[in-house]
Structure 1
Amino acid sequence: MFGLKLTHVTSGLLPALVGYTGSIAVIFAAIEALGATQAQANSWLWALGIGMGVSSFILALRYKMPILTAWSTPGAALIAVSAEGIPLEQAVGAFLFCAVLLVLTGATGLFARLTRLIPPALANAMLAGILFRFGLGTFEAMEQAPAMVLMMLATWLAGRLWFPQVTVAAVLLVGAAFCAATGQYNPAVGVSLDLATPVFVMPDLNWAVMISLGLPLYLVTMTSQNMPGVVVLKSAGYEPPVSATLVVTGMTSLILAPFGGYAFNFAAITAALCAGPDTDPDPGQRYKAALIGGVVYLIAGLFGATVISLFLMAPEALVLAIAGIALLGIITSSLSAAITDTQDRDAAVLTFMMVVSGVSFLNIGAPVWGLLLGLVAKGVLDRRGRN
């Protein structure tokens, strides 16, 4: 941790703020669909925080890259809509099945070889499309809190001119101070300092449930989470240890599934918050932000619902604005890299527009479809040079 900067700390705090506030409701919906008790629900929050914290810290420290892991948000949505009526014990068996598939995918190296086939222009277009929707959140937040968002944007502009190394930290402080001064934090959210307690659920390995729930959970986690997560790091100039990360996240899922850690994977949006130049001009030092992020996740897991309530106190406009502003730099660099290569520019634009559309088919999200469309377009357009 030698040489830790303020930007490492702020960039490490943002993933937890954005991740928890942005998708904790989906986790609660998944827990409710499975009929978990309050104690089991608290155990889920413990397992998810501990799993993300430990795996992120290990991977970032070992490979000196801003590798963050995350719970599978589309996986939680899948559980919420398809697991109603499934006993919790059988659902845990499906989680274990998914974890085994993740480990095997990493151990065989097949997924790593697949990601190396993605052209850089299409990878950057895919990333820009993913982050673009979050960038729009800054301006959507103006409808809720125009004065606050304008002050945050003014702080960002000033920071780009006079204090670029701490711009995002300053923006966060200005937004938080404005909310405190104007009473925008939700006082109805109760806070109690209680440590979360893990609750073990004995798995029931029902093959029908493993196929109907565990296999789709694996597929959506791979396509909607791991693929974009790899692209984020590649677009930032890193060569992530794809196979090793899949093994680590798969083993983490395998260990923590009985406690509620249903599936872990590469982070995408939250990883982008640590991987850009605003975190540190030196790419070799940005991993320190991921270490901070891992510690924050650990604390969030240990205190479970207490930390979640603190996140839920923040107004939605603050979360939308800080997430969008923090991602402006990497959106700019990704768009620029996507259209610089004239040979792949048309395919990259198609990829970008498909991803921004947000369309989804067969439970597979727009990022994957956008990438596939771009690859097909590239294959067709590359024939121009051969004719």
Structure 2
Amino acid sequence: MSRSDTGLRVADFISPSISALISVIVNYAGTFVLVFQAAQLAQLSAAQTASWVWSVSIGVGVTGAWLSYRYREPIVTAWSTPGVAFLATVMPFTPYGEVIGAYVMCAIGFIVLGVCGAFERLVRLIPGGISAGLLAGILLQFGVATFGGVSVEPLLVITLLVTYAVLRRFTSRYAMLGVLLVGMLLLVGEERIDLQSLHLQLAVPVFEMPQFSIAALLGVALPLFVITLTGQYIPGMLVLRNDGFKTSANPIITATGFGSLIMAPFGAHAFNVAAITAAICTGKDTHQDPSKRYIAGLVCGGLYVTVGIFGVTLATLFMILPRPFITAVAGLALLGAIGTSLSNAMADTRTRETALITFLATAANVTLLGVGGAFWG
């Protein structure tokens, strides 16, 4: 892709910025509650929890923006969601200093993996049809959840669906912007969002001295490494490949590893290339010209940094949004990615049956030996 920024117009920023905003909203509103649950189970103080929010938000914002700018591709980074779910089970029984030490060891592991180049070779071994089937299986649950929300919030979800259908017919480029605006206006009109109670407060990072132990290495760092690699990095790289982006996995895993290492003493666990929320930013709906989709990565980075600056106060705002609203917006934003990945999976007759099996196994989302459905797919 060209590294030239010439020819960029104001209109080129609109769709990528919308995709970025949706991606960030879905990431915070959909999964960030796990961070607060893990912090509560570990009995972290309010200051330590705010520092965790600050460090992961700033960390993924800076790494994603830098990678997107450096390689002119929408390389969106995120925190390890399956990693947080795992941490909630071990943090209550592990001294916090040793947890921080485990974060450091895990980050070093990713840096080593990126420098040696082994991960890129692994990604290249996966055929295109198989990777497309894997991605379709991962994203399917979001498409299904869009319509499942009708039974919980019929007025809200049906309004969003009708808005999307109408706008898609007449102005597909701004369909998701219309969905967001209509949904937010409906929620405000029903007085389900109270912005008057929002008081922004700057986050203050809290440094925690890492402590190292064999128990934390084997019980926290190693599982976190494996879960993040299989549950986030592999599908995340396949998202980029599925939409035609070719940046090597090596600099991505190295950069996020260094970001994790720097932010670990402030409470941040593993950073990684995003998968589900990245798919919102990598497809044609973000921009018809693939060389301009990197703008979405830059905007994502800026939004994450903004949330991180205000820590818990701004992150909490996203989490008060009703879940049916989030699932509907995410599912509609991912329709293009789901369709493209299914089409690519079935395109090659030689791998069609294997791709179908991969799709079904991944969509079943069976967790076995602590590893999620994406790996087994």
Q: Does the Cα contact within 8 Å between 1:33 and 1:79 map onto a contact in 2? A: no
What is the aligned partner in structure 1 of residue 42 from structure 2?
34
Aligned equivalents of 1:189, 1:324: Cα separation in 2: 29
Aligned equivalents of 1:254, 1:312: Cα separation in 2: 27
Instruction: Give 1:172's match in structure 2, choosing from 166, 169, 180.
Output: 180
Structure 1, 89-98 or 302-311: larger mean CA deviation: 302-311
Q: Does the Cα contact within 8 Å between 1:168 and 1:278 map onto a contact in 2? A: no
Matching of residue 299 in structure 1 with residue 306 in structure 2: yes
Matching of residue 349 in structure 1 with residue 352 in structure 2: no
Percent identical among aligned pairs is 39
What is the aligned partner in structure 1 of residue 373 from structure 2?
366
Q: Does the Cα contact within 8 Å between 1:176 and 1:318 map onto a contact in 2? A: no
What is the aligned partner in structure 2 of residue 115 from structure 1?
123
Instruction: Give 1:21's match in structure 2, choosing from 16, 29, 43.
Output: 29
Residue type at the aligned position of 2:14: L
What is the aligned partner in structure 2 of residue 277 from structure 1?
284
Instruction: Give 1:90's match in structure 2, choosing from 66, 90, 98.
Output: 98
What is the aligned partner in structure 1 of residue 220 from structure 2?
213
Aligned equivalents of 2:345, 2:256: Cα separation in 1: 30
Aligned equivalents of 1:11, 1:132: Cα separation in 2: 19
Aligned equivalents of 1:145, 1:174: Cα separation in 2: 15
What is the aligned partner in structure 1 of residue 164 from structure 2?
156
Residue type at the aligned position of 2:186: F
What is the aligned partner in structure 2 of residue 385 from structure 1?
none
Matching of residue 140 in structure 1 with residue 178 in structure 2: no
Q: CA RMSD in A?
A: 1.4
Alpha-carbon deviations, 1:21-65, whole Å to 9, x = none?
111121112222332111010000000110010001000000011
Q: CA deviation at 1:174?
A: 1.3
What is the aligned partner in structure 1 of residue 139 from structure 2?
131
Matching of residue 237 in structure 1 with residue 251 in structure 2: no
Aligned equivalents of 1:228, 1:288: Cα separation in 2: 21
Aligned equivalents of 1:213, 1:309: Cα separation in 2: 27
What is the aligned partner in structure 2 of residue 69 from structure 1?
77
Aligned equivalents of 2:188, 2:126: Cα separation in 1: 45
Q: CA deviation at 1:144?
A: 2.1
Matching of residue 339 in structure 1 with residue 346 in structure 2: yes
* Count of aligned pairs: 369
Q: Does the Cα contact within 8 Å between 2:29 and 2:320 map onto a contact in 1? A: no
Aligned equivalents of 2:152, 2:187: Cα separation in 1: 12
Q: List alignment gaps of at least 5 residues for structure 1.
A: 371-387
Q: CA deviation at 1:241?
A: 2.5
Q: CA deviation at 1:243?
A: 0.4
Q: CA deviation at 1:193?
A: 1.1
Q: CA deviation at 1:82?
A: 2.0
Instruction: Give 1:106's match in structure 2, choosing from 102, 111, 114.
Output: 114
Matching of residue 196 in structure 1 with residue 203 in structure 2: yes
SS of alignment partner, residue 5 of structure 1: helix
Aligned equivalents of 1:157, 1:75: Cα separation in 2: 36
**Pairing of 1:308-323 with structure 2 (within 5 A):** 308-323=315-330
Alpha-carbon deviations, 1:168-211, whole Å to 9, x = none?
111111111111122232x4994221000000000111122112
Aligned equivalents of 1:273, 1:201: Cα separation in 2: 35
SS of alignment partner, residue 32 of structure 2: helix
Residue type at the aligned position of 1:296: L
Aligned equivalents of 1:150, 1:5: Cα separation in 2: 29
Aligned equivalents of 1:136, 1:46: Cα separation in 2: 33
Aligned equivalents of 1:189, 1:329: Cα separation in 2: 36
What is the aligned partner in structure 2 of residue 80 from structure 1?
88
Q: CA deviation at 1:309?
A: 2.1
- Structure 2 length as normaliser, TM-score? 0.95
Aligned equivalents of 2:229, 2:61: Cα separation in 1: 20
Change (3 A) 1:189 1:99: farther
Residue type at the aligned position of 2:242: S
Change (3 A) 1:108 1:189: farther
- Structure 1 length as normaliser, TM-score? 0.93
SS of alignment partner, residue 239 of structure 1: coil
Q: Does the Cα contact within 8 Å between 2:33 and 2:319 map onto a contact in 1? A: no
Aligned equivalents of 1:327, 1:34: Cα separation in 2: 34
